Structure 1
Amino acid sequence: MAVAVNAAVTLPSSKTSSSPSIRFSSIAPERIAFSKGVGYLKNGLVTGGKAASIRAQVATETPTKVVKESKKDDEGVVVNKFKPKNPYIGTCLLNTKITADDAPGETWHMVFSTEGEVPYREGQSIGVIADGIDKNGKPHKLRLYSIASSALGDFGNSKTVSLCVKRLVYTNEQGEIVKGVCSNFLCDLKPGAGVQITGPVGKEMLMPKDPNATIVMLATGTGIAPFRSFLWKMFFEKHDDYKFNGLAWLFLGVPTSSSLLYKEEFDKMKEKAPENFRVDYAVSREQTNENGEKMYIQTRMAQYAEELWELLKKDNTYVYMCGLKGMEKGIDDIMVSLAARDGIDWLEYKRQLKKSEQWNVEVY
């Protein structure tokens, strides 16, 4: 699965905010996706009691009996190989800004070398410990970030891990400018710099094993990270034991069109697999619905509410949510009335979806 990659990185001068230009040689055919001037390369049944009665109520046809395999039971999923007292020291290979200069805030895509020592799966996270010490003279605490690359990594050799990080800068109540320690450390990293990595961690957001599943992905901002990892595996890679034949439907919410992340990659996926990939954007400061309301992710989803509810009646539909905590309530508000039409208590139904690993949430 490995691919030979030679990358020459040209860093921008201090007088310009353009992204680094990256050129690759030894390119594997049909394996290139572009994002803001950077090229990434790769090879090629609910049972029992109340749950059963609820699913029976929403069934629209006699379901095919499917034995589900838990995504969390895979013995090959590594957790906590590296801990804060003994982190892995990776090397920054690439770090480039992927939002436009006029976007409200900066988001960066970065790739670290792991030499295969930090094996992870799509949907996991890693911890990062910023260099230096805190105000008490102690090492900084780790910060968790969702991994933004597939298990093969952006270079297709299983020896890198990528993150999508927004630089945190805000003004506090005293009028002082405050910079997030870890996010600014990461966004300022230069190629060749070392970074302390812990993990990998997490099983909640692992991909479903069913290659015919419907996977609905709901993201705000950098919450797109785990879904980029899903989608690369689905549409930019070739695996002997996995070929995605289902439906991947992505909803991404951002404040401005200049804040859209990885849009060029998603356009390429749509071109490659129009029957298997759908993407809908919610740009809150630029778009409104028919009632003149700002277009948040739940507002965009409301336009497809009937279709989404029909999908949620099926045993092979999986919903993944990553981003700002407030998004889940907005989605609940949509589903409550739709479920009620079928005599279903949405919150109880959602609990059963969680038990069957069909409703997966990672918010902050």
Structure 2
Amino acid sequence: MHKSNHQPHVGGAIVDTVSSALLNQHLIDPEICIRCNTCEATCPVAAITHDSRNYVVDASKCNFCMACVPPCPTGSIDNWRSMPASQPYTLEEQLSWDELPAELSAEQLAEAGVASDAANVEVLAAVPSTHVATSDGEAPFNSAQYNASLPPWSAAHAYTNLYGAKAAEKFVTATVVGNVRVTEVGREYDTHHLMLDFGSMPFPVLEGQSIGIIPPGVDENGKPHYARQYSIASPRNGERPGYNNISLTIKRVLEDHQGRPVRGVASNYICDLKVGDKVQVIGPFGTSFLMPNHPRSNIVMICTGTGSAPMRAMTEWRRRLRASGKFEGGKLMLFFGARTKEELPYFGPLQNLPKDFIDINFAFSRTIGQPKRYVQDLMRERAVDLVELLKSPDTHFYVCGLKSMEEGVVLALRDIAKQGNLEWESLGMNLKQTGRLHLETY
């Protein structure tokens, strides 16, 4: 494992007042990070960045606002090292790590001009901030500030990190019991519904949680592939009720976000799996993107593409409760976007759900001969209904999909609230504080 050789630069250096200060440097543990991009998407000052392998924190930008800490599904973001303020770990050093370095000793800090007596050391910390002002003095709209880090009050207890780099078991082996394509065959948009069985190994999950799958082999640097995160698409009692199994929604990646050809390591591995194959799994992850359980709860789900996975899980759990006669009341509303209906996973099954059970709204942005429509456009068309739901303390909003959709969706909620004479800032903060607005974008 590569460890940092970072040493305080002393020798003939002149130690000034800044170098004698102590920095509580924010770092990310690469051993348990699942590269989900939550931290980078959440950071309001763009202090977090990544390469093809590691996520890292720029000490010159980090202002200790802690916005990234609660949403992290694994806790990898909540790591700190006492460093000389003039000599923090560089981005280059952090990008080379496979594990966090040990704490510097008092002797090493003293060599760098930092007093070993903590009482006599100036600890540097920036003033927390939640936005960066634009050139005209106005703050840009920051949708991430409304993202709840707490689950709904009635959510079931979530188990997390049962398997992983620092757990007793490094991974659990699951068996593929099904792999079905859920988009139209012959199209370039290839999405699969994968079913995994854990046998007798405990793997309790809830709707809204995720897992990590470890692809076999090594990367271009000869290092084992890191786990890729996928949202669970099945309800808490399994894709097949009464069995220890889950399902996932996986899109085969054949190009990057710029449209350049690329073959996604994990997605292609998963989409090509056959029944009977074994898969290494870590997790589960996630403690906040959980559905409410109280009967009055309304759920508004807004998603694109494979962001439909947690929405499918929530919908199926509600459907099973309804069929058993154990759940009455509470509305389900879905806004689902894709380029075309042929590229939308689960299109057929969704069409068969009863209209009095779920209110479904489809947005297609690439239908030939039709104007582009996005989920936020449909939300505005349904403003009258959404205003009433916004007024109810029993309504919960879940957003999942590409990062590019997040701002438009939250802006639509803000505008709809204003149309209904609701004060958005207080409402938005209330949605966050009561665990009722959850944003999971990537």
Scaled to the shorter chain, the TM-score interval is 0.7 to 0.9
Deviation at 1:139, TM superposition (A): 1.1
Tell me the CA shift for residue 69 of structure 1: 6.8
Question: How do 1:20-35 residues align onto structure 2 when only pairs under 5 Å count?
Answer: none
User: 1:136 Cα shift?
Assistant: 1.7
Q: Which residue of 2 aligns with 1:294?
A: 372
- Rate the CA distance shift 1:136–1:261 in 2: closer, same or farther, 3 A: same
Report if the CA contact (8 A) 2:152-2:291 is conserved.
no
Of 225, 229, 232, 1:147 maps to: 232
Summarize deviations over 1:58-113 as a string: whole Å, max 9, x none: xxxxxxxxxx97246x4x42111111361001011111211112434210011011
Deviation of 1:171 (Å) = 6.4
Give the aligned partner of residue 62 of structure 1. none
Aligned residue pairs total: 288
Task: Quote the Cα distance in structure 2 between the aligned partners of 1:254 and 1:95.
Answer: 22
Shift of 1:118: 1.0
Is 1:172–1:178's contact at 8 Å kept on the other side of the alignment?
Answer: no
TM-score, length-scaled by structure 1: 0.73
1:92/1:193 contact within 8 Å kept = yes
Deviation sequence 1:268-291 (CA, Å, 0-9, x none): 322xxx323111111111188xxx
Determine if contact 2:152/2:290 at 8 Å carries over to the other structure. no
Deviation at 1:128, TM superposition (A): 0.7
Alignment of 1:266-305 (within 5 A): 266-270=350-354, 274-286=355-367, 293-305=371-383
Give the match for residue 316 of structure 1.
394
Which residue pairs with 1:128 in the alignment? 213
Q: Per-residue displacement from partner, 1:197-228 (whole Å, max 9, x unpaired)?
A: 11111022111021221110001000000111
Residues 238 and 142 (structure 1 numbering): CA distance in 2 closer, same or farther, change over 3 Å? same
Write out per-residue CA displacement over residues 223-247 of structure 1, whole angstroms, 9 at most, x where no aligned residue: 0001111111111357989525311
CA contact (8 A) 2:301 2:398 kept: yes
RMSD over aligned Cα atoms: 2.5
How far is the alpha carbon of 1:156 from its aligned partner?
0.9
Map Cα deviations across residues 12-64 of structure 1 (whole Å, 9 max, x no partner): xxxxxxxxxxxxxxxxxxxxxxxxxxxxxxxxxxxxxxxxxxxxxxxxxxxxx
CA gap of 1:298–1:145, structure 2 versus 1, over 3 A, is same
User: What is the match of residue 308 of structure 2?
Assistant: 224
- In 2, Cα distance between the equivalents of 1:245 and 1:310? 15
Tell me the equivalent position of 1:163. 248
Match runs of 1:84-123 below 5 Å: 84=165, 86-115=170-199, 117-123=202-208
Task: Describe the SS at the equivalent of 2:262.
Answer: strand
The amino acid of 1:281's aligned partner reads F
Distance 1:176-1:225 versus aligned 2 partners, 3 A rule: closer
Tell me how far 1:339 sits from its aligned partner: 3.0
Conserved? CA contact 1:287–1:294, under 8 Å: no
Structure 2 match to 1:46: none
CA contact (8 A) 1:71 1:206 kept: no
Correspondences of 1:137-216 after superposition (within 5 Å): 137-170=222-255, 177-216=261-300
Provide the rounded CA distance (Å) in 2 between the counterparts of 1:318 and 1:221: 21
Check conservation: 2:400, 2:439, Cα contact below 8 A: yes
Larger C-alpha radius of gyration, 1 or 2?
2
Letter in 2 for 1:193: D
Correspondent of 1:249 among 314, 320, 333: 333
Deviates more, 1:210-219 or 1:346-355: 346-355
Over the matched positions of the two proteins, sequence identity in percent amounts to 34
Name the structure where strand makes up a greater proportion of residues.
1
Local SS of the residue matching 2:412: helix
Residue 346 of structure 1, CA deviation? 2.2
Q: Residue 346 of structure 1: which of 411, 417, 424 is its match? A: 424
Q: List alignment gaps of at least 5 residues for structure 2.
A: 1-150
Does the 8 A contact of 2:365 with 2:371 survive in 1?
A: no
Deviations 1:176-198 (A, max 9, x none): 73111111111111111111111
Question: Is 1:70–2:147 an aligned residue pair?
Answer: no
Distance change (3 Å), C-alpha of 1:252 and 1:342: closer
Structure 2 CA distance for partners of 1:70 and 1:91, relative to 1, 3 Å: same
1:179 partner SS: coil
Asked whether the 8 Å contact 1:90–1:112 carries over to 2, the reply is yes
Q: Give the corresponding residue for 1:56.
A: none
- Describe the SS at the equivalent of 2:352: helix
Measure how far apart 1:355 and its partner are. Answer: 0.9
Q: Report the Cα distance in structure 1 between the residues aligned to 2:345 and 2:364, rounded to whole angstroms.
A: 12
Structure 1 residues 181 and 258: CA distance shift in structure 2, 3 A: same
Q: What is the rounded CA distance, in whole Å, between the counterparts of 1:263 and 1:171 in structure 2?
A: 25
Tell me which amino acid in the other structure corresponds to 2:230. Y
Contact 2:177 2:275 in 1 (8 A): yes
- 5+ residue gaps in structure 1? 1-67
